Structure 1
């Protein structure tokens, strides 16, 4: 009689169990990633988590590689869908600067949510001015922080316009300044025209309403409103900055993406801006039309819970 070596039952079952769990995880992730195209709170929640779901998918691929390679094909389905969903938020390449005339036509715009009642508006304003910015946009300003910012910027940025909780300071003259309600009953946005020597640039500054479970309509209304404003704006060159309270791939930004280009970070990162201690999501956005992005990155300033965005355009 020939003895046949039998593997322990648990050894045979291990790959099957791993395959089963990987299959379930892949299907769940497929539906989660697909939810990023659903307008409303579902799309916003998925958009916030989407960059980190890439790490989950990578972990599943590594597990499949070692335990059950036949599952790799199944995991690639949500992985490819993830790449498609994340594509609009991937980093970009810096633009070329080159000639002296090109440098002369560049405009640097910085924007930050300075966090109301933090007492750090003056520090934020001073540090943002040190970046060499031509235009500084600040949002979530209360009475004290507005006064502090005005005092800190008055000398280098003599041209300013503020309304509600948002403000803009410029080295160049401002014209056609107007407050924007964007469909709400209070003013949390503005538009000005910066008289840059090379050509005027329309600048929008926005502080969108917050997002909380069951309370998202105000934010969506504002994002829809600014998309309509940009679509109707006759300016050849414009830039929209501020705290949009929307992750980069949020479906609520789709209408604005159709009218202007999202400024991709050029520092090789995804440009996360909040919270400052450990940035998890980008909710402070930059959109441009009729302008080329030379560089776009983030920087710390003051004691806000938001990183500032710093964008150089031409």
Structure 2
């Protein structure tokens, strides 16, 4: 072998594996990249677009809107319709939940569907978000369920007297606490009447005071209670308040309680029967100027109170600031303590500070 021959390298097929060199065409070195890019394009093409994402969220948004707008058509079997209507304002809390889901899924269809429940909720309750109160009213009225288990009736009476109402209605007055309320309120309110568990205190003279039969004397089986029991447990009254503008008919009522039972559902039989009887009494009222004060155990959206709300207007809805929730006092979520009027104009409505009761007092200023 010559020197020149020793300086030349001989390449054999096995040498390529040892040196790590590929025998493929150099032009094919990017084929893996092209294949990966193609796969990504295919995956993007198969992924649903923004209008096809979140169909369940879109359906739930539409359902929410329909429930709110058609709440009056929901069956009241087991009290379902009444239960929905009492908590109807809180259905708006589902909107931000669905909105968060729609943004997370980047679903255009769900976002568009949310327009329905938002529009319905605002049409039903948007007016309550603004302050509609005015000044310059002629008479201040207040109502409070003082609570049968109130541990401090004397303190509650003093708090109510300090609130400055001209006419004050109390519900759930027990025989044991009646004397305390009469004593503590006597200085501020020289005129008063108590009929069973409801009472009316007034700075102005009262006349034509009488109990109102709201069928509280009838048991769940239709059996009538004895006469002495009827008076003790009477839960509604009517009185005429003599004002500078003429007589004002004032009703005080505490409608039957409602119960949520897993077996029976939302039980409202007593409340509904009372509401119907009270509505009949109001229909027969000759005075055009009427104020109803009391714990109605239902909101003005509740269909069971249609006999009342069709004749009287809510002071809170017309002249309040906010929802006016009054129960329970610790964390109010529903307005069941009502001030309803007819023939007079509510100028302002508000919720008073808490007392020792499980309800909050409510008040309103009215004018002629």
Distance 2:243 2:181 in 1: 22
Corresponding residue of 2:97:
59
**Correspondence list, 1:191-270, <5 A:** 191-213=238-260, 214=264, 215-264=267-316, 266-270=319-323
With a CA cutoff of 8 Å and minimum separation of 6, indicate the structure with the bigger relative contact order. Answer: 1
Secondary structure at 1:203 match in 2 = strand
2:167 pairs with 1:135: yes
The answer to whether the Cα contact below 8 Å between 1:111 and 1:310 also exists between their aligned partners in 2 is yes
The answer to whether the Cα contact below 8 Å between 2:144 and 2:362 also exists between their aligned partners in 1 is yes
Corresponding residue of 1:4:
38
| C-alpha deviation, 1:164, in angstroms | 1.2
Deviations 1:172-229 (A, max 9, x none): 1101111012133142100100111221111111101001144311101111222222
Distance 1:38 1:181 in 2: 30
Corresponding residue of 1:174:
206
| C-alpha deviation, 1:117, in angstroms | 2.5
Question: 82-91 or 267-276, which moves further after superposition?
Answer: 82-91
The answer to whether the Cα contact below 8 Å between 2:51 and 2:109 also exists between their aligned partners in 1 is no
The answer to whether the Cα contact below 8 Å between 1:293 and 1:312 also exists between their aligned partners in 2 is yes
Question: 180-189 or 144-153, which moves further after superposition?
Answer: 180-189
Deviations 1:92-144 (A, max 9, x none): 611342xxxxx5xx111111111102233222221111111111111011012
1:35 aligned to which of 71, 76, 79 = 71
Corresponding residue of 1:279:
332
Distance 1:118 1:17 in 2: 57
The answer to whether the Cα contact below 8 Å between 1:38 and 1:251 also exists between their aligned partners in 2 is no
Secondary structure at 2:83 match in 1 = helix
1:71 aligned to which of 110, 134, 146 = 110
Distance 2:196 2:126 in 1: 35
RMSD of the alignment, in Å? 2.6
Classify 1:159/1:61 alpha carbon distance in 2 versus 1 (closer, same or farther; 3 Å).
Answer: same
Classify 1:113/1:125 alpha carbon distance in 2 versus 1 (closer, same or farther; 3 Å).
Answer: same
The answer to whether the Cα contact below 8 Å between 1:226 and 1:256 also exists between their aligned partners in 2 is yes
Corresponding residue of 1:100:
none
The answer to whether the Cα contact below 8 Å between 1:111 and 1:138 also exists between their aligned partners in 2 is yes
Classify 1:119/1:262 alpha carbon distance in 2 versus 1 (closer, same or farther; 3 Å).
Answer: same
Corresponding residue of 2:361:
308
Distance 2:126 2:74 in 1: 17
**Correspondence list, 1:13-162, <5 A:** 19-30=54-65, 32-33=67-68, 34-38=70-74, 40=76, 41-65=79-103, 67-86=106-125, 93-97=132-136, 106-162=138-194
The answer to whether the Cα contact below 8 Å between 1:95 and 1:292 also exists between their aligned partners in 2 is no
Distance 1:145 1:39 in 2: 41
Distance 2:246 2:129 in 1: 30
| C-alpha deviation, 1:17, in angstroms | 8.7
| C-alpha deviation, 1:73, in angstroms | 2.6
| C-alpha deviation, 1:65, in angstroms | 4.6
Distance 2:129 2:193 in 1: 33
Classify 1:18/1:271 alpha carbon distance in 2 versus 1 (closer, same or farther; 3 Å).
Answer: farther
Unpaired segments ≥5 residues, structure 1 = 98-102
Alignment coverage as a number of residue pairs: 306
Distance 1:95 1:256 in 2: 25
The two structures have a TM-score, normalised by structure 1, of 0.88
Classify 1:235/1:92 alpha carbon distance in 2 versus 1 (closer, same or farther; 3 Å).
Answer: farther
| C-alpha deviation, 1:85, in angstroms | 4.5
